Structures are given as C-alpha cells and as structure tokens.
Structure 1
Amino acid sequence: MLSRALLGVVRGTWVLLSAAVLVAAGMAWATYQDVDTGVRRSLAVRADDVKSTSGMNVLVMGLTTRRDLDGGAPSDEVLAALHAGDVDRGGYNANTLILLHVPSDGSAAVALSLPRDNHVPLLGIVGGPQHGKVKEAYGRAKEAEERRLVLAEVRRDPADIEWLGREAGRRAQVETVGSSLGVPVDHIVEVSMVGFYRLAEALGGVEVCLNAATSDEYSGADFPAGRQHLTAAQAMAFVRQRHGLANADLDRVRRQQAFISAVMHRIRSQGVNALGPVAEVAKQHVVLSADWDILSMAQGTSGIRFHTLPLESDPTADAQPTLRAAVTAALTPPAATSGAATEPSPIPCVD
C-alpha cells in the first residue's frame, strides 16, 4: 500500500518517521482519524495551483531546524541527543527533498530524491527570484517574510510570526521544486530534526545491521559491526552519518533506506502496536497539506520505484534542464521483465 511506499522513498534524515505515521493511518482507522484531525495543516499548496493529471505528487521535506512548529527550543537533553550543535545551527534549509509520484492507474509509485545542492532559480521569495541551492528556498523565504511582517508594524505573537514565516518557506519550496522538476506539487509532508527524534523515540528505536564498525564525531555515530538495536539518539546518528564512510552521502542514503526497511519489517511483524504513541508525536511535529485525505494514499499502488536525480556540480549553472530531463526519464514506466523479483532482506547490512 502507498503508506509503505512513502516509507520506502524517504531519503532524508529527519523526515523518515513522518512516513511511519502514514503507515499507521493506512492500517488503523482510529489512528487515521487521530492523525487526520490533529496534525498541523499548511496552505502552501493552493487551490488554484496547477494539479497533476496522471496521479498525485507529494513533496516530502525534512528541515534542518532544531525548533518546534511554534519556534520553541527543545530541552538541553534533546539537543544533546541530537548531537547537532546549538538550537539555531542549521537554519531552515530543506535538506531532504523527495517528490513521490503516485500514478492514478495503480501502477508502482516513483520516488524522486532531489539532491539538496543543485543550483536553481529560487521562487516564491519576497523581492523576486534568487539563485541558489534548491534547499535554501525555504529558509530564504521564511526570513524575508518575517522581515516584511516586522516592517509592517502589526503586533503579532512570536508563534504566529514563526508559522507565517514557515508558510512562506513551504510555499517557496513548493514553487521552486515544482519549477525545477517541471511537474506540479499536489501535497506536502514536513518534519524537522526534533520531529524525527521524537518519532524515533516513540517507536522505541529500531534494529539495523552494519558491515563494519564505524564512528564519527560529527553525527555522534559509534557502532560495532553486525546486527544491533538502536535507541532514538543512536538512530539519529545512524541516518545522519556521512563522514568516515567511503561513499559519503551515497552511503548515508543506503543507511536511511536500511532504517526504513527495518521499521517496515517491525510494523509488518508486530502490527500497528509496534508504532506506540507515534500518532500523538505526529500531531506535534508533522505538517501536512490542508484538505488532504491521507487515507487516500493507502490505496491503489502496486509498489515503488526509486530514483536519485542528478547533481549539477557547477554552482554557476542552472540545473533545471538536467533535472527535468531526468524526471521525464524516471517517470517513464520500465519495460516488463520476466521472473519473480527477489525480496530484499528486511534488515539489510550496510556500510
């Protein structure tokens, strides 16, 4: 079902378990109702936006911010567990950007991972388009909108300013990604770094397997080789580590896919009870599009195909033409193959 597909796509660090919430929504009606009515809703995708005609496109965003949805800082204990510096480090970059295309004909969904450092025109920012890394649209738009609100001299609660700034950021990211990839964005899912940690905590950690022992002072990773159970803090380090790995970001992608596989294996073997209080945490840390019935995502797909879009290494170039061509190729259904597919290991060993 599509909720499982969404879990399979999430490449980024702190958005992984927001997808687990959608799995619960597809598996248990009571949980679905709880999440659907309690989660924060965004108007970043507008009613008059051009919509997909051959299915649904969902933009999954993972933010670097350590702050909550009202701009509040986490406790010192949580900051220490994140092992990611002080509360304002990282800004509001959308370091995880995944476009999930769900065809209307029931065929396999397609997950498009958009490398965060592609240079493109950044749209939706007060003052006009800017050029920069695709991940920066959110933070630049948020900052510009908050500056505009202050200059307007209208007294607002800080939490309102935070939300309005983030709404501008979400809108800018939707416009920027949609334009860069040449496809509409129909819905969004957003979660922050703290949100990921809290969701991992609600799950009680997860089991993974490493080919070799590894350590990294930047992420806080320090793991022996072999199969092992990770706490929430260790899970954060596991999916964040790229230093000390032979293939850096590519190895980090495999780590995150292995983490997702382990979560899905746990849900399949233990049922919805394996999720614990995930739905309650989602209501505090996950943002979904307004007027989006997330249960509809649990129906009608036959699996998922994964693609990582190219990275344009020249910072003076516009990556849009390369990205659009890659999206067209990725969304083209593959030719049918004979023989049964091999089922991957539910707890794959990775570097």
Structure 2
Amino acid sequence: MKWLRTSALVMVRTTWIIVAVALMVAAGVGWATYQDIDEGVRRSNAIAPDAPRSEHAVNILVMGLTTRLDLNGDPLPDAVLAQLQAGESDRGGYNANTLMLLHIPNDGSQATALSVPRDNFVDLYGIPGSPVKGKIKEAYGRAKIAEETKLRAGGLPDKHELEFLGREAGRRAQIQTVSTFLDVPIDHIAEVSLAGFYYLAGALNGIEVCVNNATSDPMSGANLVAGRQVLNASQALAFVRQRHGLKNGDLDRTRRQQAFIAAVMHRIRTQGAATLPGLVDVAKQNVVVDDRVELLDFAMRMSNVTGGRMTYLTLPIEDTQTVDGESINIVDPHKIRAMR
C-alpha cells in the first residue's frame, strides 16, 4: 500500500486487546488468564463464514463509534459522562466516525494502518435502497435504525436484543461499505466507543504528551498548558478529540492522534505486564470483535505494532464539496485501486 503518511487514533482505541494478549505471552501469564480475555470479549457474527479472505495478509477493520452508550445500549454512569465531556448519553448516534484498515502481512513485513476520512462521500451498502450516496461514517447508524424499526414492527420488544441485532446490522453495513469502497476483503473487525477509549487511557494510568502551545476548547473539553505533561483519562480524550481552536483543524487533530499513539505504545512497552489487569477489564467491557478472530494469533502479528513496525497512512482526498448543507470529501475510486 502506498497511501500518504499520517496517523489515526482508532488503532490505539481498539488494538489494546491484542497488545494485552501479546504482553501475556511475553510475561508468561497463565493460560487461564488468556482464556478469561478470549471468552470475555464480546463477539460479532457480522462477517459471514463464506466472506472473501485476504491472501498473504490479514485486513482488520477498526471502527470507533460516536455513541455515548455501553455495549448493551444502556446509558453510561453520570460520572463517566462528565469525564468524557462529550454531552449527554443520547448524543453522538452510531456514526463510525473513525475507520481504519489494518493491513498485516503474513511474512512479518511492515504493517500499515490506513485511515479512511469519515466524511468521504461514497456508495453506502446494507441499508434500505442501497446502494445510496452518503458519508462513509453513516452506514453503521443508518443500518442499525432500519433494522430496529423493522424488528419493532415485527413485535420484538426487548431493548437489549434490539440493540444487539441493530448493531449487528450496522456492522454488516459498515463492513460491506468499506470493503466495496476500498475493493479489499475484510477479514476481521474490532469496534470501540468513546467510553472504551476513556477507560483505556485510565487503565494505563495516564498518557505523556508534549503540547506545543497552551489551548482551551469548550467543545472537546481540552484545557492544556504548553509543554510535556501526563494527561489523565479525561484530558487524554479531550487532547485527541480537539479540532476547534487549532490552526489547521482536523489536520492538527491528526497530529495529536499520532502523538497519542506513540505515547500509548511507549506506555505499554515500559509498563509491561503491570498494565494487563486493567487492559483485560477494558477489553471485556468495551470491545467487540468478530467470531472468527483468534486472539493469540493476532497477538503474535500485532507484536510488530508495539515494536514500532507500523506505517500510518491516510486515504487521499481529491476535493471537498457541500451537499444539503453538509461538507463532504470527494475521492477517486480509480486512484484508490491503482495505489494498492
């Protein structure tokens, strides 16, 4: 892959589960602990058993959702919502605001993490009337709403079952949309929400960053002094969410995310097995992976990430336009296929 170099937060949001297993192997942690995380993490069957598979590599679609709800669709505790500084539990919807494709070769060579901008205007699949045009981030939420509406009309009243089946429809739609757009198979998925990221930063007992200039942004809650500092979980979330008040907006937020990724990986390498209990708990409560994933195999593959052998890339944007008052990104699918 030859996409332009950049960074993306979502790799960190979702790969700590794999890193945790790798640390267990390195630290000689017992099989019972591995089974605990393997059996405790929420599974999805959104990838069909007969779906196409990659050759000579593994492609993992990582999805970061905007929802402020837990995996069962219940509101987060008020104390956690206050720390997220992202509004009430009914805000955010189910947009896949962060999408990343991790491409991990089987031969152990350099892996890549491709960030797909959330506002790319593409064909959406897996929703009524598809394919229909929309922002790539919308496939998940639109499919979820459509599925839940259909199930309620059919007489299904249970809130948690509706949430599970709705999210499964959302995952299928997002997988099909991204796979078709990039013209690549999706072998595995990993999904996390804002709360999962917050808990991750907390499990690592803070993240060390260096802020070039003091900044204050009420939209994200970022209120940071200049210089090197250790951010707590709430501050770390604000640090990577901020785009308002930064000179280059989303571009500066991307640089923030790159700094955060490096800080998290450094924290994991230096703290080693001491981070395991917290990471395992976070994964079990906040991560969804597909039912085909073998965590131990992923741990071996993802050891390259903790060692710094990951190239961060972003999908090139041709232009921006406005549709129905919304800013969108224009991309050239022919150039995407030519770059693979």
- 1:101-134 deviations in Å (ceiling 9; x for gaps): 1112221111110000000110011343221000
| Residue equivalent to 2:50 | 48
Runs of 4+ in 1 over 6 A off after TM superposition: 316-321
Paired residue type of 1:51: R
Paired residue type of 2:321: D
For the Cα contact (< 8 Å) 1:10–1:16, is it kept in 2?
no
Structure 2 unaligned blocks of 5 or more: none
| Residue equivalent to 1:148 | 150
Selected match of 2:311 from 305, 316, 333: 305
For the Cα contact (< 8 Å) 1:118–1:313, is it kept in 2?
no
| Residue equivalent to 2:22 | 26
- 1:17-42 deviations in Å (ceiling 9; x for gaps): 33122111112044543221110001
| Residue equivalent to 1:164 | 165
| More displaced 10-residue stretch of structure 1: 180-189 or 97-106 | 97-106
Q: State whether structure 2 residue 324 is matched by structure 1 residue 314.
A: no
Q: Matched residues in 2 for 1:120 and 1:96: separation?
A: 15
| Residue equivalent to 2:210 | 209
| Residue equivalent to 1:99 | 101
Matched residue of 1:28: which SS?
A: helix
| Residue equivalent to 1:17 | 13
Q: Matched residues in 1 for 2:148 and 2:134: separation?
A: 20
Which structure 2 residues correspond to residues 1-351 of structure 1 after superposition, within 5 A? 11-12=8-9, 16-29=12-25, 30=30, 31-153=33-155, 155-299=156-300, 303-311=309-317, 312-314=319-321, 322-323=332-333, 325-326=335-336, 328-329=338-339, 331=340
Q: Matched residues in 2 for 1:241 and 1:324: separation?
A: 33
Q: Matched residues in 2 for 1:275 and 1:206: separation?
A: 16
Paired residue type of 1:137: A
- 1:112-168 deviations in Å (ceiling 9; x for gaps): 100000001100113432210000000000000000001112x34211100100000
Relative to structure 1, the CA distance from residue 315 to residue 289 in structure 2 (aligned partners, 3 Å threshold; closer, same or farther) is: farther
- 1:195-243 deviations in Å (ceiling 9; x for gaps): 1112222222211111111111100101111111111111110110011
- The Cα shift of 1:321 comes to 6.6
Q: Matched residues in 1 for 2:287 and 2:214: separation?
A: 33
Q: Matched residues in 1 for 2:265 and 2:328: separation?
A: 37
Structure 1 unaligned blocks of 5 or more: 1-7, 332-351
Matched residue of 1:150: which SS?
A: helix
Paired residue type of 1:159: H
- The Cα shift of 1:268 comes to 1.4
TM-score, with structure 2 as normaliser: 0.88
Relative to structure 1, the CA distance from residue 274 to residue 327 in structure 2 (aligned partners, 3 Å threshold; closer, same or farther) is: farther
Relative to structure 1, the CA distance from residue 275 to residue 216 in structure 2 (aligned partners, 3 Å threshold; closer, same or farther) is: farther
- The Cα shift of 1:51 comes to 1.2
- The Cα shift of 1:327 comes to 5.5
For the Cα contact (< 8 Å) 2:7–2:313, is it kept in 1?
no
For the Cα contact (< 8 Å) 1:203–1:275, is it kept in 2?
no
Q: Matched residues in 2 for 1:300 and 1:276: separation?
A: 21
Paired residue type of 2:15: A
- The Cα shift of 1:328 comes to 4.3
**CA RMSD of superposed structures (Å):** 2.3
Relative to structure 1, the CA distance from residue 290 to residue 271 in structure 2 (aligned partners, 3 Å threshold; closer, same or farther) is: same
- The Cα shift of 1:291 comes to 2.2
For the Cα contact (< 8 Å) 2:203–2:275, is it kept in 1?
no
Paired residue type of 1:25: V
Quick one: percent identity of the two aligned structures?
53
Matched residue of 1:305: which SS?
A: strand
TM-score, with structure 1 as normaliser: 0.85
Q: Matched residues in 2 for 1:238 and 1:39: separation?
A: 28
Q: Matched residues in 2 for 1:318 and 1:48: separation?
A: 34
Matched residue of 2:137: which SS?
A: helix
| More displaced 10-residue stretch of structure 1: 249-258 or 313-322 | 313-322
Paired residue type of 1:62: G
Q: Matched residues in 1 for 2:337 and 2:37: separation?
A: 31
- The Cα shift of 1:282 comes to 1.1
Q: Matched residues in 1 for 2:225 and 2:328: separation?
A: 42
